[in-house]
Amino acid sequence: MARIYIFKRFERFWHWAQAALIIFMLLTGFEIHGSYRLLGWEKAVNLHTTAAWTLIGLWLFAIFWHFTTGEWRQYIPTSKNIIAVLNYYSVGIFAGTPHPFRVTQLSKHNPLQRLAYLLVKLLINPLIWVSGLAYLYYNEIAASKIAIIAGLQLGTIALVHTAAAFMMLIFLIGHLYLSTTGHTPLAHIKAMITGWEDVEADKPVAALVK
Amino acid sequence: MRTGIFMVALLASMLLTPAALAAADTDSDSAKLLKSTSDHTKFKALQQEFNSGPEVTKACLSCHTEAAKQLHRTEHWKWEYKTPQGQLLGKKTLINNFCISPSSNEAACNICHIGYGWKDDTFDFKSEVNVDCLVCHDTSGNYRKPAGLAGNVVTKAMEFPPGSGNIIKPINLTKIAQAVGKTSRDTCGACHFYGGGGDGVKHGDMDSSLAAPDKALDVHMDALGLNFACATCHMTQGHQVPGSRYAPTGRDKGEAHLRGKDYKTNPTTCQACHGQAPHKTNAKLNDHTDKVACQTCHIPKFARGGVPTKMSWDWSTAGKMGPDGKPLTIKDAKGHPTYMAIKGDFVLGDDVIPEYRWFNGTVTYTLRSDKVDDSHQPVQMNRYAGSASDGKSLIWPVKIMHGKQPYDPVNKTLVVPHTAGIDDTAYWTNFNWEKAIAKGMATIGEPYSGKFDFIATESTWPITHMVAPAKDALGCHACHAAGGRLEKVPGIYIPGRASDHARWLDTAGWALAALSLLGMLIHGLGRVLLSRRKN
C-alpha cells in the first residue's frame, strides 16, 4: 500500500462542515415540515435559517476555492469506465475483485462519483437554495411587482424545497453507505479526515505520491 | 445615645410631616387642575336639585350647546346603522341568539340606550333633553338606570314593580352631575360588559374583569400600568365612537397614525398605533401581519378574567318549574346559572380558545324579515365575509355563539318574543310562548303564523379585547403543527400543518429513502457474508 494526499485541508474542512450542516438541516427541516417534533418548531426554524446562511457562506468560499484551484474539473462527467464501476459495485465488490478505478490527485472521483456529485451540485443544491431563499423571502416575493414571481404560492415553494430535501436525504444515505466500500470499511472516511488515501502500490502511481 | 437618636428622629418627623402633607396636597390639586379647565361643582347650572334625568341634560346643554345634536348622529342614540352593502343594522331592529331582541322589551333592555324614556316606538329621537349625558360621563360610580323604567332614573325612593315590595333607592343627581368627567372603562362597561343580559354573556372578550384588569388580562388597560380607557383606542370625534363591530376593519394596511395627520381610517385597529411591522426582536413575525390579525396570536384565549361567557343558549328548554312550583334555576359549582326557567339552558365558557376565520370586515346579518332555511341548521345569524385571496382579509379569532331560539315554521322567519315586562303576555311573567311571540311580532309589525318551533342558530363575534402581554402571545407551534389552531383555515399554506402536505411527495420521499436504506443494508450484508465465506 502507498498513500497519496488527495483531500486538501480546505476541502476536508468544507466537506465535514457541509456534512454537519446538511444533516442538521435535514433534521430541523423535516421538523419544520411537520414530520416530527424534536427541538420545537420555533427553535427549529431559527436554527435551520442560521444553518442555511452559514452553508451559503461556506459555499461561497467553496466555489471560490474550486475555481481558483481548478478543482472544479474533478466534477466533469465522463462515461469512460462508468460501466466497469457500476459492474464493480453490483458484482465485483462481492467477489473481492479490485476497484477498476485508480484514485489520483488529478482524478480523485470515480466516474460514478463524478456524476453523483455533479447532480448534487447542479440539481439538488440549486433547487434547495432557490426554493429555500424563496421560502425565507416569500413575503417580499409576494409583495413584489414582478408578475412571474409574485404569483408564486408558498405551497409550491415548499413543495420544491421538500422534494429537494428528500433528494438530499437519499443522496446522503447512498453517500454514507458507499463511504464504507473502501478496502476497509473506514478507509474512505479516514482519507476524508486525514487527506491521505491508501492506494495499491503495485500500480505506477509513485510519481503522484508526495 | 439611642434615646438621643430617637428624639432627633421624632423632632424631625414632627417638623417634616406637615410639609410633606402640604406637598402631597398640592400634588393632588395640581393633578386635578391639569385634568380639566372646568370644575363642575362651581357651575351655577348644576347647583340645583334635579328631579329627573332630562333636567340634568337641560343644564348640561346650557353650556355644551351642540352636544345633543352630536349625540343624535351616533349609533349610541339611533341604534341604527346602515352598512355600505345596504343592510339596516343596529339594536333597534337586529335579532340575535342571546336575548333575541329589545323590541317589545324596551322598558327593560333600553336602559342601555343613551337616552331617557325609550319605552316603545313613540320615543322622540329628536328630543335633546332625552339624551343621557351622565350614563357615559359619570365619574362617581353612583349613577343607576334600573331595569323596567325605560332608561329613566329614580330620584325618590319607589316600589318597583308596583306591589312587589322591592324598593329602588334614589340617586343624588346633583352630586353626580357636579362630578362629570371623561368616559371610563366603568361607564362604557356599564352596558358593554353586560351585553346579552349579564356580565360577560355576549362578547367573551368584554366583561367586568376589564374594569380594573391586571397586565396579564389586558396589556393596554392594565389598571396599574398603561391604564387605557376604552376611548384611548375608540377615539371619539364629536361623540362619534369609531370601532363599531357593525363597521369593522378586517385588514388595516395603513401606517401607525401620526398626530396632526388627518386619517380617514379606523383609529381603533392595532395597526393604527403599531403599524405593519411591530415586532422588533423577531422580524420573521412581521411576515405574518399580511395574513394574520394581531388578535389571533395576542389574544390566545377569551373570557380570561374569571367571568364566564355564554357559548350556547337553548331557549327551547325554558319554562321548567322547580319542586316548589317556582321557576327553576340550576347553578354550576361556581354559582353561575346553567339553567333558568325564564331563559333555558346555557353552556358557559372560561378561558375559551377562539375559532378562526378569514375576515375582510364585511358582515351580513340575517334580519327579522329574512327567510331562514330550517332544513339547513344551524342558521347563520351573521356571516363573516373574507378569503385568503381577496387581499382584504386577515385570519381573525372569533367567538361562535350557538343558539336555539323560537321561529315561525310557516313563515320561515325568526321571531321576536315579548320576554321582559310586568304584563300578562311577557314570557318571563307567564311562561307562555304563544302569547309572548304574538305580542312581540305584533309590536314589530311583522307577520306571524301563530305557530312556533325552535331552530338552531349560530352567530359570530369578533375577539379583539383582552390583549395579552407579548410573552403570553401564541407560540409558533400553536398553528405550525398538525391539528393546530388554524387547522381548518383554508386557502393558505402553513408550514408544519400536515394537511397542507402533498401526500404523494411525502409518501414517495420517505418510501424512496427507506428503499435506498434497505438496498444499502442488503448490499452491505452481502459484502459481509461473502467476505466471511472467503476467509
Chain A residues in contact with B526 (beta carbon < 8 A)? 94
Chain A residues in contact with B500 (beta carbon < 8 A)? 155, 158
The type of residue at A85 is V
Q: For A152, which residue in chain B has the nearest alpha carbon?
A: B493
The confidence score (pLDDT) of residue A200 equals: 67
In a domain, A139, yes or no: yes
Nearest Cβ partner of A45 from B476, B502, B510? B476
Task: Output the CA torsion sign for A76, A79, A82, A84.
Answer: negative
Nearest Cβ partner of A173 from B287, B506, B517? B517
Question: How close does chain B come to A169, measured CA to CA in Å?
Answer: 7
**Tens digits of pLDDT across chain B (535 residues):** 455 565 555 555 555 555 555 555 667 788 878 888 999 999 999 999 999 999 999 999 999 999 999 999 999 999 999 999 999 999 999 999 999 999 999 999 999 999 999 999 999 999 999 999 999 999 999 999 999 999 999 999 999 988 889 999 999 999 999 999 999 999 999 999 999 999 999 999 999 999 999 999 999 999 999 999 999 999 999 999 999 999 899 999 999 999 889 888 899 999 999 999 999 988 899 999 999 999 999 999 999 999 999 999 999 999 999 999 999 999 999 999 999 999 999 999 999 999 999 999 999 999 999 999 999 999 999 999 999 999 999 999 999 999 999 999 999 999 999 999 989 999 999 999 999 999 999 999 999 999 999 999 999 999 999 999 999 999 999 999 999 999 999 999 999 999 999 999 999 999 999 999 999 999 989 888 887 776 5
The confidence score (pLDDT) of residue B99 equals: 97
| Cβ atoms of residues B465 and B354 within 8 Å | no
Instruction: Give the least confident one: A120-129, A180-189, B43-52, B365-374.
Output: A180-189
Q: How confident is the model over A10-15, as a mean pLDDT?
A: 92
DSSP state of B414: E
Residues within 8 A of A (CB atoms), B 263-322 only: 284, 287, 290
Its ipTM equals 0.89
Residue A3 scores a pLDDT above 90: no
Nearest Cβ partner of B482 from A34, A139, A169? A34
- Name which residue leads in pLDDT, A196 or B234: B234
Judge: A163–B505 Cβ closer than 8 Å, yes or no: yes
b/e map B508-519, b = 16+ CB within 10 Å: ebeeebeebbee
Number of other residues whose CB lies within 10 A of the CB of residue A41: 23
| Cβ atoms of residues B358 and B371 within 8 Å | no
The confidence score (pLDDT) of residue B165 equals: 92
Judge: B496–A32 Cβ closer than 8 Å, yes or no: yes
The confidence score (pLDDT) of residue B21 equals: 52
In a domain, A133, yes or no: yes
In a domain, A39, yes or no: yes
Q: How many domains is chain A partitioned into structurally?
A: 1
Q: For A143, which residue in chain B has the nearest alpha carbon?
A: B290
Judge: B520–A153 Cβ closer than 8 Å, yes or no: no
Chain B residues in contact with A93 (beta carbon < 8 A)? 527
Residue A206 scores a pLDDT above 50: no
Q: If you count residue pairs, one on A and one on B, with CB atoms under 8 Å apart, how many are there?
A: 82
Question: How close does chain B come to A87, measured CA to CA in Å?
Answer: 14
In a domain, A206, yes or no: no
The SS3 of residue B142 is: coil
Judge: A173–B480 Cβ closer than 8 Å, yes or no: no
In a domain, A136, yes or no: yes
Question: How close does chain A come to B463, measured CA to CA in Å?
Answer: 25
In a domain, A37, yes or no: yes
Query: Which parts of chain A fold into alpha helices (H)?
Result: 9-33, 41-69, 82-87, 93-95, 111-119, 125-136, 138-143, 147-150, 154-178, 187-194
In a domain, A175, yes or no: yes
Number of other residues whose CB lies within 10 A of the CB of residue B443: 18
The confidence score (pLDDT) of residue B13 equals: 53
Query: What range does the domain containing A137 cover?
Result: 10-186
Angle at A201 between CA A196 and CA A202, to 5 degrees: 155
Mind giving me the DSSP string for A61-78?
HHHHHHHHHSGGGGG---
CATH of the domain at A92: 1.20.950.20
In a domain, A196, yes or no: no
Chain B residues in contact with A45 (beta carbon < 8 A)? 284, 476
